[in-house]
Amino acid sequence: MLLILIVIVFGILGFVVSSKLKRKFKKYSQTTLQSNLSGKEIAELMLADHGIHNVSVNCVEGQLSDHYNPQNKTVNLSPDVYYGRNAAATAVAAHECGHAVQHAQAYAWLGLRSAMVPMQNASGKILNFVLIASLFGGWALFGSIGGSLPVIGAVVVGAYSIMTLFTFVTLPVEFDASKRALAWVQERNIVTSSEYGMSKDALKWAAMTYVVAALASLATLAYYASVFFGGRD
C-alpha cells in the first residue's frame, strides 16, 4: 500500500512538473530572440568560444529529446530547439553545450556519472528480473531456498541504491550545465535581460524534473529497505 502511495504521489508530482516545463517552453518559444540566433547557431558559437571543435551539433526527432552524447561527442537538439530562435531554444541548446564543456574540462561529477552508467543499467536489469520472477511466483521458488529472502532483499536494495545514487549524482551535473549556459549567454550578450529571465526560468523547471526523479527513487529505496530489513532485530 505504501509503495502504491509513493508511486501515486511522485507520479502526480512528476506530471505537474513536466506539464509546467512544457507550458514554459511553449510560452518562451513565442518571442523571437533580439539576436535572431537559432539553437544550432548558439550551440556552435558556445562550443567555439570554449575551444571545442570536435563536437558536432545534430538535429534529432522528438520533443524535449535534447541531449549530449559523450561517446560520439555530439550535441543532439530536437527540431524546436535546433531551428528555434527564442529564449527556450537558447536555454536548451546552451545547456546541452554546457555538458560538452564539462566533458572537455573533465568535470568530476560528469566523469562519475558516466562511470556509473554500466552499473545503473545492470541494476535496472536485475530489478526487472526480480519483478518478473515475483509476478510468476518466483517468491515461492526463492523462499524454498533456505535463507534466500535476506539475499534477495540485499540484491534488491543494493540495486536500487545504485540507481538512487545515480539520480543524485545527476543533479550537480545538470545544475552545473545550466549555470555554465546562463553565464555564457549573458556574458556573450546572446539574450536581453528579459530573455535571460525566460531562459533561466525554463532551465529551472527542467532541473526540477531531475529533482523529482531523485526524490522518488530515494523514497522507493527507503520503502524496500524497510520491507526487507526494517523489522529485523
Q: The pTM is what? A: 0.89
Residues recognised as catalytic: 96
| Cell triple for 167 | 539520480
CA distances to 7, 97, 223 from 153, rounded to whole Å, are 20, 41, 12
| Cα distance between residue 219 and residue 51, in whole Å | 42
Lowest-confidence pick of 25-29, 118-122, 149-153, 178-182: 149-153
Average pLDDT over residues 121-127: 92
Q: With beta carbons less than 8 A apart as the criterion, state whether 212 and 20 touch.
A: no
- What pLDDT does residue 143 have? 53
Q: Which of 223, 124, 102, 109 is nearest to 170 (CA)?
A: 109
Mean pLDDT of the chain, nearest integer: 91
| Cα distance between residue 46 and residue 92, in whole Å | 12
Handedness of CA 119, 121, 122, 127 (dihedral sign): positive
- What pLDDT does residue 138 have? 56
| Cα distance between residue 52 and residue 35, in whole Å | 23
Q: Categorize the per-residue pLDDT at 227 as very low, low, confident or very high, splitting at 50, 70 and 90.
A: confident
Number of domains in the chain: 1
CA end-to-end span of the chain: 24
Q: Give the range of the structural domain holding residue 147, as residue numbers without chain letter.
A: 2-229
pLDDT in tens, 186-224: 999 999 999 999 999 999 999 999 999 999 999 999 999
Q: Which of 157, 153, 159 is nearest to 139 (CA)?
A: 153
- What pLDDT does residue 137 have? 59
> Where in the chain does DSSP place strands (E)?
56-59, 67-69, 74-77
The one-character DSSP state at 34 is S
CA distances to 63, 124, 149, 202, 220 from 213, rounded to whole Å, are 19, 15, 28, 18, 11
Strand order in the sheet with 67-69: 56-59, 74-77, 67-69
Handedness of CA 131, 135, 139, 141 (dihedral sign): negative
Return all residues near 184 (Cβ < 8 A) that are at least 6 apart.
46, 49, 94, 98, 190
